[in-house]
Structure 1
């Protein structure tokens, strides 16, 4: 019993299988609640009606959400449906003998569809044309038992091939899918470890990140190069160090070593050839 003497509504469809008596009590309680709301439409009474019929919103939102893209959140549909339920409660006239559940489901569905339409930037004519083409494809391919060509589809729709392709272009510009969905579809709808669909971060390349394979190859090359340089003669190591790490010219290296530039060039060529040979040996070892 509520403080005002009315029976609190049970959850919709929540009557236990105890029999007709309990179900009759629930119906009587709802009838009393409607009577109380008709006499004095207070917010507390309306809230209890909303609470009782809330499962209707979840049911309708689930039905409407079937077939919509995965990025459409059912919770958002439920929120819109609640507004439709409140509107149905405020407009319902019990004296007309109409069952409230039927009336409310229409208002809830209408509220959800209105919200979806308000978020849709695609003209209704394009949506309608897309559905018409889909139905024509189903008819034609069902009849012919094969994929149909553009010319056959145009004939089925009593239009020209050029107009059909133009319509395809309009539809293509309105076809938007969440990238996460495309990635999940491309990988079988889930990640390798079965933990769910891969996230966007798993599928987009980070151009600023280090490539693991390249990094590994670079480290290995550096290791082999250091080992090969370590096995050169002392003068060859000096030439390589001054030329590649100190950025000295051949003439400057010649002055450091006290030899001619041509001799430094010979030392450099010999060192490079030995490094190449040694690296080849190490890589195939």
Structure 2
């Protein structure tokens, strides 16, 4: 919970969490619906047109309600951050269960991810679309088509929700393990962080800019498109390629470790 929460908001939280007061619940929903809209906008830009926005909104709303139920107001955490991850997790789980992405595309994405991991590990630098395409025996056009079709798949692979009650739900924030707290766990976590830092540093310039604007400046892809003066589909493609490269870096660490 933000330290700037108003008295009225705190009263609503108390009414909802302690008494399940419908009026308090409605007040909280109204306060945080803009957060739901924000998360949906970031997801919809990456989704194929076949995915119904109303279905995504329903999943997002379920995530918000889940956050209301599981958020511990006494811990002094920022609800917006916690709820964002719950909303994202609900959308991702719902899309995964609906199997919106054909298996053939999933297989192609996995091969592309593995190609990035192998080639960038061998060269110790970012590889071009042409190099990846040549390695896979496909054209650059086919590579870009697959990346565009599987834009959210790339996001899911690195941003996958962890189904527990912790305040962190992204696996780039938390590495869940039975060995948590052990030297092995800390070593693995540190290696992954270092690999991601190196991978971000060697991203092609445009991909690095997109990642910085998206995750550090928290701009929507439509806003990034305006900043860079290119189409939203091009930004989505650059974002997806960058995420595939970063996931490949994590994959390399996991295989080595």
TM-score, length-scaled by structure 2: 0.43
Larger relative contact order, structure 1 or 2 (CA cutoff 8 Å, min sep 6): 2
